Amino acid sequence: MSKPTPISGFPEWLPAQRMIEQNVIERIRDTFELYGFAPLETRAVEPMDQLLRKGETSKEVYVLRRLQEDPAAGGGDDALGLHFDLTVPFARFVLENSGKLQFPFRRYQIQKVWRGERPQEGRYREFLQADIDVVDRDTLPFHYDTEMPLVIGDAFRSLPIPPATILVNNRKVCEGFYRGLGLEDPDEVLRIIDKLDKIGPAKVGQLLADKIGATSAQIDACLRLAEISATDGSFVDAVRKLNVDNDLLNEGLEELSRVVEAAAEHAPGLVRAELKIARGLDYYTGTVYETQLQGYERFGSICSGGRYENLASTGSERFPGVGISIGVSRMLGLLFGHQALSVSRSVPTCVVVALPQEELRGRCDKIAQDLRSRRISTEVAPSAAKFGKQIRFAERRGIPYVWFPGADGEPDTVKDIRSGEQVEADAASWMPPAQDLLPAISVS
């Protein structure tokens, strides 16, 4: 068999990286549950009409089809696709189970998703997301919009990653401002403004003139709004100085102020108002979030979300919500790619029990079981080689301790192979230092 060729966009981490990923997932889950979010897992597939509700193009959706399916039969599995995010499946779940849920409903999901886009650094076709959402029936109080960044801030502070900044905007600010200028297609303006970082203000201005007929004064006002950025409420005065008045703009400024000021009080430096953010034009209706890692800003957002009023609705029922999603694979992929994360050992094992001779394997297994009973990860040496070779086996994998069974009634000993210190030990009571019990993750 020839050596397999990797498939781009479908990451497979090495064991040490997988341990880091699992540690990150556990810490994120702990934070979500501390805030009262309940776990949920939805199916991997959704009907195509559901998947396309969120405005994604069909070329990004992977279709599910049986190999032997008869295309002439019509319908069938070709109407199903793999979900490309967790918000659409969640909205569908809420609609199907609204009679069984207590509202407001707070849930988290940590699952794989699939998206058929061009793979590049930090962007994959199969990746892990960690989402939280709060939905309510008919109306959702705005204070949940202020809570989202605080949850994510706590989650990020628990992780071995660089500091993060959550950028926030409000669709009402932008739409109200553009309408106040006399521009009647705010979505198109937002789409053009969203190109600022890629093509610069001159080309953005030209697009505004060419596509929507904006005047030079309107273009200047749009570009000046996009420049506004602040970690406190001062952005409101900056917008007011542009002399645009609109009721929707005023409403958006009040809401955005509440998000920024709540974060400034509880987590100074976490949130920054950034009035050029435009995302989710087909479904977000108010607050929007993007998150950048310090030192990795050029790669864009690793956590995003916002307020949606109409995604989960059918007939007379409406379940507005607000949510935010951590791109776990995206975040880790960037950090792995820059060798920014490391783990103290490549296996969970804390102790290797040395095997003096094969006939004593049963005794060594008993020692290992005693240690495992107290949650100390332990394995027995694979063979009764010379002790020097068994120690090197532990060293190569970063395992800190080797346990030596005592001979002829002598007590057992355990050796810290990093320092060389060796002491008597009883498998029923010995404990390693807390910092050695589990692999330690560090960021550089």
262, 148 contact by CB (below 8 A): no
Query: Given this model, what pLDDT does residue 408 score?
Result: 84
* Placement of tokens 């406190």 in the chain: 232
Per-residue pLDDT of the chain (444 residues; tens, 9 = 90+): 678 888 999 999 999 999 999 999 999 999 999 999 999 999 999 998 888 865 556 678 898 888 877 666 655 555 899 999 999 899 999 999 999 999 999 999 999 999 998 888 888 999 999 999 999 999 999 999 999 999 999 999 999 999 999 999 999 999 999 999 999 899 899 999 989 988 999 999 999 999 999 999 999 999 999 999 999 999 999 999 999 999 999 999 999 999 999 999 999 999 999 999 987 667 889 999 999 999 999 999 999 999 999 878 877 889 999 999 999 999 999 999 999 999 999 999 999 999 999 999 999 999 999 999 999 999 999 999 999 999 999 999 999 999 999 988 899 999 999 999 999 999 999 999 999 999 999 988
CATH 3.30.930.10 domain residues, the chain: 15-342
Instruction: Name which of 90, 137, 110 is nearest 26 in CA terms.
Output: 110
pLDDT at 384: 96
Architecture, CATH, for domain 15-342: 2-Layer Sandwich (3.30)
Say whether 87 counts as a known binding-site residue: yes
Q: Is 426 assigned a ligand-binding role in the annotation? A: no
283 labelled ligand-binding: yes
Q: Where in the chain is the domain with CATH 3.40.50.800?
A: 351-443
Bond before 11 cis per omega within 30 degrees: no
Strand spans (E) along 211-308: 229-230, 271-274, 284-293, 303-308
Q: Consult the annotation and say whether 53 binds a ligand.
A: no
Please tell us whether the domain made up of 351-443 is placed in CATH 3.40.800.10: no
Residue 58's pLDDT is 62
DSSP letter at 128? E
Name the pTM for this structure: 0.91
- The whole-angstrom separation of Cα 165 and Cα 177 is 25
291 assigned binding-site residue: no
C-beta of residue 84 within 8 angstroms of C-beta of residue 327 = no
Q: Quick one: how far is CA 439 from the chain centroid?
A: 22
Scored b (16 or more CB within 10 A) or e, 105-140 reads bbbbbbbebbbbeeeeebbbbbbbbbbbbbbbbeeb
Length of the chain: 444
Residue 132 backbone phi and psi in degrees, to 5: -130, 145
Residue 129 among known ligand-binding residues: yes
Q: Is 279 marked within a binding site?
A: yes
CA distance 120 to 8: 9
Q: Which residue has the tokens 């880091």?
A: 20
pLDDT the model gives residue 66: 83
**Packing angle of the helix pair 171-180, 186-193 (nearest 10 deg):** 110
Write the burial class of residue 66 (CB in 10 Å: 0-12 exposed, 13-18 middle, 19+ buried).
exposed
49 is annotated as contributing to ligand binding: no
What secondary structure does DSSP assign to 159-170, as a single string? Answer: SSS--EEEEEEE
